[in-house]
Each structure stands twice: as C-alpha cells, then as structure tokens.
C-alpha cells in the first residue's frame, strides 16, 4: 500500500481550468498474521505483524491494542524499534470463529486490521476396550497387552469426543484395515494359523487441529502354550539368591507332558535341562539355578517348551531378571560402645562384607554432643582401609559432660550401604605432671643476702605436663626459716619459660614476677594453662631466698608442693 494522492481542479464558466492542486495523503498500514488460523481450544495462539505509514515510516515504540471478539486482550503491548509486534494468548475454550482486531494510533494517524481465528476441538478418545489385562491399569499412550488362544476372536472398540470432521483408521502392524475406516469397532477373526504378536492401532484425526490414537499388543497363543515366570528366592534379585523358573503345565487334551527348560545369561544360552517325568495336566512345576552361577549385572531369562507325546509347543521366554548389586555391610569393631579413653587421637576400626566382592571405600562420621557438634565433629570420606585414626586432638571432655558418637558407611563404587548404629566414645582428661628437676641446693647464704635460680645456678625447678589436657598448677611450701613464717619476702617464687619450650603456658594469668611463697596448705595459682603437646609442655619455677638477720646458723630446708588441676 503506497502513498495516497488527492487532486482537485477549479473551472470557470467557460470550462477553463483556473486552478489545480495535488495533495499527498499519508495513512497507517497494520499487517496481521496468526500462528494458525484454526486451533484447538485452550491452546496457545500468537498474532504478529508490522505497523508503518504509507510514506515508509515504521511506527515504532507505539502501543498496540488487540481485541478478541470485541474484548481487549492487551493494553500494554508496543511495537519494537522497527514497528513489529507479537502477542501470545490462550485460545477460548468454546469452539467458533473469533474476529481478532489490531489497532493503534500514532500521532494524527490511526489504523486497524482484523483477522478471523477458528477454534475447533481436536478429537479425544475417551474409552477403549479391552482396557486392562492381568491387572495392568490403562494409562494414556500406554500399550495394553491382550492375549488370546487360537482360534478365539477378539473385539477392539473405542469412544471419543468432538465428532466433527473426523477420520477413524485401524492398523495391524502398520497396515491399514481399510474395511474398518470410520468404524469405532474392529474385530479380530481367529483361526489356527495366527500364532504371534500383533500391534493393533486406532487413529482418530481431524485434519485441522490434530489426532488421538491408542495401541494394543495382541498376542495369539497356541493351545497350552507355556507361560513361565522367573524370580529369586527372596525377591531381591541379589547375588546370593537362587533363581527360580516356574509354570503350571497345561494341555487342552489333558495329556501328560515332559518339558525343556533353558537358562539364558545376557541372551546367550547357558544351560538346557530336559525333565522327562510325564507331568500331569495342571502340575505346578519349578526348578532353580544355583546362586554360584550368577554375578551382579547379568541379565537372566529362562524359557520353557512342553511336549505332550505328539508335538512341542512354542518355546516361551520369561521376562528379564537382572542380578542387582548387593550393598556393602559394615560392622564396627573398636572401640567398644561406651568406651572412655584419655587418648585424644583414638583409632577406630571396623570390618565390611560385600556379597559381590566389590572394592569398597568408607566414610567415617564422628559427632560431638551436646552442643559441641559445630566446634568439633569429623566427617572423613574416601577411606580405603578399615580403620581411621583421628588426625588432630578431640577437644571436648567427658569431665565437662561432653561425648562423641561415631559410625561408618561403605560404598562399593556402585551404591552406599547403610550407616552403622552409632557407638559412643568419651574422652576423659588425664591430669599428670612430672618434675624434671625436683630439688634446689643454694649452699651457704649470709644474713640479709639473697640468692635465686634465674641465672640457672642453681637450676630452677623444671615441671612438665605429661597428661592430655591444659593444667593449672598451684604452689605452696613448708617454712624455710625458723624465725620467719611463710608468706614472707625471705622466701619467694615465680614461673618462667623453659628456654627450649617457650609459650608453654598462659603468661598473663601466671605469676611471672617474684611473689611470696604461700603458707603450708594454701596454694597459689602459679602456672595457668600449661600445655600438654610435646614441644610446649614444660615450664620453670624460679626460687628466691633472703637470709633473715634474725635467723641463727644451721641447715635449712623446705618442701614445695605443686598441684595440677584441669585447666580447660
């Protein structure tokens, strides 16, 4: 649609042109295109198009109004930079023809266009017969299994909705049965030559909006055909289970029967056995394959064929049975449940079995209780051995009412077993110290003079934490002097770092400057939080003495008592 022109001419009484003029008229073009002019009810439909002026200008970024049967569908739709628009909505649920109008205004220009949308319901098969076999419930698009015995007939029929403009087609193994076209029932006529499996399909279509179809698998059996089944002893299909193949032997003439059972592993014949015991009609027969013959991952079937003294039936296979993986089982060994130990890095051991002899890895879980799980729980994966030793010290003690639960799970590279039942372990404090240097001999001292151990002559007391926890150490001593009782400035102590093991205790909370020795039985906190790890578990106790002027001559001695207690 191009640009419009308006031409006018004025004439005088002599029919002579006195004036002539031409004006250009610009209009708006509105193009429309539906995704489908005919569509199923309640399905998605899209309209698109382009807005432009007849002078070639694209009507961009402009609101477009779309109406369905006079009802506004969208008031916020706009064209893009090139004047194009697209809008999608759901078609009405009722059939009919719906005018779809598109209009817009751009400055002084307005335009609209209308296109018709036909809403048609697609055919829908609502019931089928037969609709179940052997307790198998029908679901949409599921193939229904139907079995008959020669020479029986079988009827198939359907009902459906939306009858307008439909075509019904019946097929057997893809071949159309033209004599049944547009009929809702198909009749299978039996005879004695039809043994086999057939796919029966019915298709109901509407050329405008779609189709619906259903399937049946029709199996036509010989009279007395075997129907063997397969299972494992306990139904788990695991490695350590025997396999059973069984059936009820039937012959329409009530003849006695012998049979052949063939076992297949991964579709390859593994074992064939003849049973020539002249079984009577109606006998339930079962035989088994010992578990030593099977391995996980194998697919087993068995087949049977009967012989009634005249002819063999067809050989019929069971469904496939896959030998499944047996998950590993873990048994905890040590420590025993409820164990209490002073070892902060205990070793945990377990055993594991796997019926398939698979390689196993383990996961170890240790959880702290109560209220300490976030601070000190351990979860270790990909352990290849059947033991695990805690890598760093467990932090929470039974002395403070804490405990740990531990368990193990195994994985055979295919699946996990189950977690073992939790076992309990408690870490108890071991408060124990040792004096590496337990005596000090000052020798002769003059009245009102002092000596100490800070110059290592003589050596100070040297104390080591040989337990498993931080300890606090108190100190007191018997009186050294006859004329002066403890505590006094004449008998003092302090603690200090041992040269080879600095930072072994809490310096700020310990007595690190000389203080008067405590009286008999009254201990002072001398060392706070002495560590227990080998490189930082030792501290010095320096002694300072001063000879009182009131003291008489003679040998003097004092016993110093150091007492350790839990410091965490």
Domain containing residue 480: CATH number: 2.60.40
Q: Are residues 312 and 423 in the same domain?
A: no
Q: Are residues 33 and 110 in the same domain?
A: yes
Domain containing residue 198: CATH number: 2.60.40.10
- The whole model's pTM is what? 0.56
Q: Is residue 3 part of a domain?
A: no
Q: Are residues 440 and 556 in the same domain?
A: yes
Q: Are residues 553 and 440 in the same domain?
A: yes
End of a domain among 180, 202, 221?
A: 221
Under-70 pLDDT residues of the chain:
1-24, 132-142, 149-151, 162-165, 192-193, 195, 207-210, 221-224, 252-253
Domain containing residue 89: CATH number: 2.60.40.1930
Q: Are residues 202 and 182 in the same domain?
A: yes
Q: Is residue 110 part of a domain?
A: yes
End of a domain among 269, 292, 322?
A: 322
Q: Are residues 213 and 234 in the same domain?
A: no
In whole angstroms, give the CA distance from residue 131 to residue 183: 18
Q: Is residue 1 part of a domain?
A: no
Q: Are residues 249 and 212 in the same domain?
A: no
Question: Collapsing DSSP states into helix, strand and coil, what is residue 118?
Answer: strand
CA atoms within 13 A on the CB side of 247: 27
In whole angstroms, give the CA distance from residue 210 to residue 124: 10
Q: Is residue 138 part of a domain?
A: yes
Q: Are residues 154 and 84 in the same domain?
A: no
Q: Are residues 408 and 482 in the same domain?
A: no
User: Which residues 6+ apart lie within 8 Å of 469 measured at CB?
Assistant: 397, 429, 430, 431, 532, 566, 567, 568
In whole angstroms, give the CA distance from residue 395 to residue 179: 87
Q: Is residue 270 part of a domain?
A: yes
Q: Is residue 184 part of a domain?
A: yes
Q: Are residues 438 and 562 in the same domain?
A: yes
Q: Is residue 21 part of a domain?
A: no
Q: How many domains does the chain have?
A: 5
The predicted structure's pLDDT at residue 247:
96
- Picking from 415, 425, 400, the residue whose alpha carbon sits closest to that of residue 568 is 400
Q: Is residue 447 part of a domain?
A: yes
- Taking residue 89's Cβ as centre, other Cβ atoms within 10 Å add up to 14
In whole angstroms, give the CA distance from residue 222 to residue 231: 25
The predicted structure's pLDDT at residue 3:
46
The predicted structure's pLDDT at residue 134:
42
End of a domain among 205, 221, 237?
A: 221
- For 83, 98, 211, the CA distances from 104, given in Å and listed in that order, are 11, 20, 38
Range of the domain at 401: 329-427
- Taking residue 17's Cβ as centre, other Cβ atoms within 10 Å add up to 9
Q: Are residues 108 and 141 in the same domain?
A: no
How would you classify the pairing of strands 433-437 and 387-389?
A: unpaired
The answer to whether the bond into 487 is cis (omega within 30° of 0) is yes
Q: Are residues 377 and 458 in the same domain?
A: no
User: Which residues 6+ apart lie within 8 Å of 40 measured at CB?
Assistant: 91, 119, 120, 121, 122, 209, 210
303, burial (CB in 10 Å: exposed 0-12, middle 13-18, buried 19+): buried
């Amino acid at each position: 649609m191009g640009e419009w022109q308006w031409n006018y001419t004025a004439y005088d009484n002599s029919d002579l042109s006195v004036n002539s003029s031409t004006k250009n008229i610009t209009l708006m073009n509105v193009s429309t295109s539906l995704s489908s002019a005919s569509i199923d009810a309640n399905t998605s439909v899209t309209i698109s198009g382009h807005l432009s002026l007849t002078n070639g200008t694209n009507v961009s970024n402009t609101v477009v109004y779309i109406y369905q049967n006079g009802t506004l569908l969208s008031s916020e739709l706009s064209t893009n930079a090139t004047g194009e628009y697209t809008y999608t909505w759901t078609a009405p649920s009722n059939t009919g023809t719906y005018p779809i109008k598109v209009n817009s205004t751009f400055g002084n220009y307005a335009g609209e266009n209308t296109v018709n949308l036909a809403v048609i319901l697609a055919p829908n098969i609502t019931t089928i017969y037969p609709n179940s076999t052997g307790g198998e419930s029908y679901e949409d698009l599921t193939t229904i299994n139907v079995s008959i015995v020669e020479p029986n007939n079988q009827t198939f029929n359907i009902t459906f909705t939306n009858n307008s403009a439909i075509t019904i087609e019946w097929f057997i193994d893809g071949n159309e049965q033209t004599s049944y076209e547009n009929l809702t029932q198909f009749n299978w006529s039996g005879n004695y030559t039809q043994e086999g499996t057939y796919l029966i399909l019915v298709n109901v279509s509407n050329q405008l909006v779609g189709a619906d179809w259903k399937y049946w698998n029709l199996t036509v059996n010989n009279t007395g055909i075997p129907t063997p089944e397969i299972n494992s002893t306990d139904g788990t299909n695991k490695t350590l289970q025997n396999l059973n193949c069984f059936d009820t032997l039937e012959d329409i003439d009530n003849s006695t029967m012998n049979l052949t059972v063939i076992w297949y592993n991964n579709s390859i014949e593994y074992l064939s056995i003849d049973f020539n015991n002249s079984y009577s009609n109606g006998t339930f027969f079962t035989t088994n394959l010992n578990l030593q013959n099977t391995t996980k991952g194998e697919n087993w079937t068995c087949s049977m064929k009967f012989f009634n003294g005249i002819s063999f039936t067809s050989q019929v296979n069971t469904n496939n049975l896959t030998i499944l993986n047996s998950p590993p089982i873990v048994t905890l060994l040590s420590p025993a449940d409820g164990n209490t130990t002073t070892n902060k890095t205990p070793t945990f051991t377990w055993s594991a079995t796997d019926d398939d002899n698979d390689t196993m890895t383990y996961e170890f879980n240790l959880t702290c209780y109560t209220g300490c799980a976030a601070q000190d729980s351990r979860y270790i994966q990909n352990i290849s051995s059947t033991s695990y030793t805690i890598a760093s010290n467990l932090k929470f003690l039974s002395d403070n009412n804490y405990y740990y639960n531990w368990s193990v799970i195994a994985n055979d590279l295919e699946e996990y077993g189950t977690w073992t039942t939790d076992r309990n372990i408690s870490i108890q404090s071991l408060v124990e110290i040792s004096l590496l240097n337990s005596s000090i001999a000052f020798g002769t001292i003059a009245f009102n003079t002092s000596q100490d151990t800070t110059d290592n002559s003589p050596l100070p007391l040297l104390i080591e934490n040989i337990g498993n926890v931080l300890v606090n150490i108190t100190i007191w001593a018997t009186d050294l002097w006859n004329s002066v009782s403890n505590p006094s400035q004449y008998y003092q102590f302090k603690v200090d770092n041992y040269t080879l093991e600095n930072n072994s205790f809490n310096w700020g909370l310990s007595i690190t400057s000389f203080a008067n020795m405590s009286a008999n039985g009254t201990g002072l906190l001398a060392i706070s939080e002495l560590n227990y790890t080998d490189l930082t578990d030792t501290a010095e106790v320096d002694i300072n003495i001063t000879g009182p002027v009131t003291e008489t001559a003679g040998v003097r001695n004092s016993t110093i008592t150091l007492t350790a207690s839990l410091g965490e």
